Structure 1
Amino acid sequence: MGSRAVDCTIAGVVGVVATAGTLGASRHGHPAHPLDALAFVLVAVAAGALLWRRAAPLTVLTVTGAAALVFVLRGYGLGPIFLPLVVAFLTAAPLHRRWPMYALPVVGYAVIVWGVPWVTGEPAPSTAAAVGIGAWLLTLIAVAEVVRQRREAIRARRARERDAARVAEEERLRRASDERLDIARELHDVLAHSLSLINVQSGVALELLDSRPEQAGIALASIKDASRDALVQVHTMLQSLRHGTEAAPLTPAPSITDLDRLVTHARNAGIGVTTTVSGDPRSIPTGTDLAAARIVQESLTNVVRHSGRTTARVTVRFLPEVLEVEVDDDGRVTEPPRPGAGITGMTERCRALGGTLTAAPRPGGGFRVLARLPLLRNESGVS
């Protein structure tokens, strides 16, 4: 049932009860003035005003109060004409400031007990009647306060629900943003690494195609392997996105424990890569393992891009609390690495795991990338 239908129902029920009660009170109460058309008009006006109690609660309170006052001053008695006024008061009081609203019953008490008898010349209510009227008005104030408290509790609950929904939406958007960033980072790492090697190897193949076709064939085979690996990894990521779940990988995920596989493409591109592992190799969290592997791949990709054909060294150190990954070369920087892609992606991976990354030219020439990834923190499940 809509609010308008509820208001119509309340107005109708109050009108019927007030009219019947007024007739009953007139028969048994011996009012000073017998009921006439005006009495029923006042009852109808007071009850009908309740149709607008939500839209204009103060106006409705004023109309019902005026109708009740005229009813009493005309000498029709203290009948159910006050029922519409009670409904109007309980509607308006919880919506406005307490003390102005709660002062109205006090004023009404003074009007009924002393004001009306003084104007009409009728005797004032007895002490018992005055006490009863006062108790009834105090009860009315208490009910209004209960309604107010209930409204405030509902508003507070709805505000909490809105805040919770807003926080949940912000968290959803943050997660979606993080997922997009992860996807972009993975695509960059896969495609940039493979395409850089393909670019280098295609140049080698073109250069040696006539003079040393066997070497050109090796370069073309490397291009085939790099492109196949890139296609497989991109296909896996697209399948995961399409189905909304973690797709089963078609090839093993790169791992820092398999350095030979990580540096294969760089070696095929003509980079002399040496690898060193120190410390106590052990199982590490999947996220840390993948980040370390991607850092090695991206660093070697930068060597292929910017340093010319040279040598590179990959050092992995398993320390008690930290995994260190260092990639440095002794080549010349033919073009400075542009921030925003490779180095930025490596830095973001480290920060996401609570680690750090430094990437800068070495004093004696060449370039060095050093990543430090915490182990104990990630092993405990905190990121």
Structure 2
Amino acid sequence: MRDTPGPWRGQRRAGFGAAVIVALCFHVFGAWNLAGAVPPQGDLLAYVLLLAGPLALAWRRRAPITVLVVAAAAAIGFAALTAPRWTYAVASLIALFSAVKAGRRGPALAVAAVGWLAWVLVTGPFAAPLGLAPAARTDARAALLVAAGLVVTVLLGGAAKARAEHFAEIMKVRAERARAHDEQERRQASEERLRIARELHDVLGHHLSLINVQAGVGLHLMDSRPEQAREALSAIKTASAEALREVRAVLGVLRPEEEAAPRQPALGLDRLAELTADAGLPVTTTTSGERRDLPAEVDRAAYRIVQEALTNVRRHAVPGATARVTVEYAADELRLSVRNDGAAVSGGAAASGAARAPEGNGIVGMRARAEALGGTLRAGPEGGGGFVVDAALPTAAVPARGGA
């Protein structure tokens, strides 16, 4: 299992040194009163065996089984030279605990079993043949106590391993949740930016196009028909005020909730008459079916689609063109149709003028609005030289998707 980065790594490094120091203390102080008990010719070997186990613990993370073998062999050898004491087994128990915690339970159990059997044989039946001092010999009670200590150590190591795995799983779940949360926030921010960009495009495109048309009319009629020029200027003033109001409404969503401006009346088909009256060209509106309240998303999308379609007519149709808006309340959907007839244009002029509506951001935005609600939108030229936008928006069950 990988080491956990951050402060846990420092704590583990500190634990390495602590284990070595603790084992050294038990081994050294446990052998303090054995001075003179070791034969002179065995002094150097005894000291090497006494220190080998604790010092080997420094590598127990990298090679847990090797360290366990070294610690067990050193403990058995030192006990055979002096006298069996539990303090000499501290390094071996720490090594066994570390090996089990590291996931090497099988090999660790094998080494522990072999080591225990070797210690029992060396300090028991084979003590006399090996010439060990009487103090180095052990009995059945001591053998059972050592076996119990090994079993407890294995259980503790397994519990520590399970706890470490549980902690690692918790950290993994937290990291995945954090990534999912960040991804959701990025996706929502992207959808909100797209929605705001689409709203601004629709608002500014419609009203600026109207202002441009009325400004041209005013300039053209300023000297010959000042009254009509004044009407054009009034239309420009109204359109610019409406544009500012709608832009403020769109940008209001960017403010904190407590600072948000008072909400403007919602955009929807209830304002269709107002929309067509300010379209800047003659518009005929037809409504069929039983009129009913629509979901807010559908109502707003329908208004924006009609608004953008009329803006495209005003931009691309030739002078004198008229538009027809049809709204049909079907059983489970709302059907919209915006057509311009290309009137006052002959043949080729119509084909190059009224029917020329490139698939720019306007049509892409209208189609995106329809598809976000599970609907469809078709836009293209008609045979008579005009252009048509047909949309179908489901009203029975609106998908919970952003950007509508």
Per the TM superposition, whether the score is higher than 0.5 is yes
Assess, with a 3 A threshold, how the Cα gap between structure 1 residues 360 and 101 changes in structure 2: closer, same or farther: farther
CA apart distance, 1:133: 3.5
Q: What corresponds to 1:326 in structure 2?
A: 337
State whether structure 2 residue 48 is matched by structure 1 residue 15.
no
Residue number among 357, 361, 367 corresponding to 2:381 in the alignment: 361
Structure 1 vs Structure 2 CA RMSD: 3.3
**Matches of 1:65 and 1:58 in 2, distance apart?**
10
Amino acid at match of 1:330: D
Q: What corresponds to 1:274 in structure 2?
A: 284
CA contact (8 A) 1:14 1:47 kept: yes
Q: How does 1:148-297 map to 2 (within 5 A)?
A: 148-243=161-256, 247-249=260-262, 251-266=264-279, 269=280, 271-297=281-307
Q: What corresponds to 2:117 in structure 1?
A: 110
CA contact (8 A) 1:114 1:124 kept: no
**Matches of 2:274 and 2:117 in 1, distance apart?**
95
Moved more, 118-127 or 8-17: 118-127
Assess, with a 3 A threshold, how the Cα gap between structure 1 residues 48 and 130 changes in structure 2: closer, same or farther: closer
CA apart distance, 1:92: 3.4
**Matches of 1:132 and 1:167 in 2, distance apart?**
52
Partner of 1:354, secondary structure, is coil
State whether structure 2 residue 79 is matched by structure 1 residue 72.
yes
Residue number among 141, 149, 172 corresponding to 2:154 in the alignment: 141
CA contact (8 A) 2:68 2:96 kept: yes
Q: Residue deviations 1:141-165, cap 9 Å, x none?
A: 2322222222222222211111111
Moved more, 169-178 or 108-117: 108-117
Assess, with a 3 A threshold, how the Cα gap between structure 1 residues 213 and 102 changes in structure 2: closer, same or farther: farther
Q: Residue deviations 1:238-291, cap 9 Å, x none?
A: 34314367834564232112211121321xx2x111112222222222221111
Residue number among 296, 310, 328 corresponding to 2:321 in the alignment: 310
**Matches of 1:121 and 1:264 in 2, distance apart?**
117
Moved more, 81-90 or 158-167: 81-90
**Matches of 2:66 and 2:216 in 1, distance apart?**
87
Q: What corresponds to 1:374 in structure 2?
A: 394
CA apart distance, 1:115: 5.5
Q: What corresponds to 2:311 in structure 1?
A: 301
Assess, with a 3 A threshold, how the Cα gap between structure 1 residues 99 and 49 changes in structure 2: closer, same or farther: closer
Structure 2 segments unaligned to the other structure (5+ residues): 1-6, 343-349
Residue number among 74, 87, 90 corresponding to 1:83 in the alignment: 90
Amino acid at match of 1:356: T
CA apart distance, 1:186: 0.7
Moved more, 199-208 or 40-49: 40-49
Structure 1 segments unaligned to the other structure (5+ residues): none
State whether structure 2 residue 356 is matched by structure 1 residue 336.
yes
Assess, with a 3 A threshold, how the Cα gap between structure 1 residues 337 and 89 changes in structure 2: closer, same or farther: farther
Assess, with a 3 A threshold, how the Cα gap between structure 1 residues 262 and 22 changes in structure 2: closer, same or farther: farther
**Matches of 1:204 and 1:61 in 2, distance apart?**
96
CA contact (8 A) 1:273 1:314 kept: yes
CA contact (8 A) 1:312 1:328 kept: yes
**Matches of 1:362 and 1:245 in 2, distance apart?**
50
CA apart distance, 1:51: 5.5
Assess, with a 3 A threshold, how the Cα gap between structure 1 residues 286 and 45 changes in structure 2: closer, same or farther: same
**Matches of 2:47 and 2:137 in 1, distance apart?**
25
CA contact (8 A) 1:31 1:77 kept: no
Q: Residue deviations 1:327-365, cap 9 Å, x none?
A: 111124527333240111111111221221111222343
Residue number among 348, 351, 370 corresponding to 2:368 in the alignment: 348
CA apart distance, 1:130: 4.0
Moved more, 61-70 or 326-335: 61-70
**Matches of 2:149 and 2:22 in 1, distance apart?**
22
Amino acid at match of 1:275: T
Amino acid at match of 1:305: R
CA apart distance, 1:216: 1.9
CA contact (8 A) 2:268 2:303 kept: yes
Amino acid at match of 2:198: R
**Matches of 2:227 and 2:169 in 1, distance apart?**
78
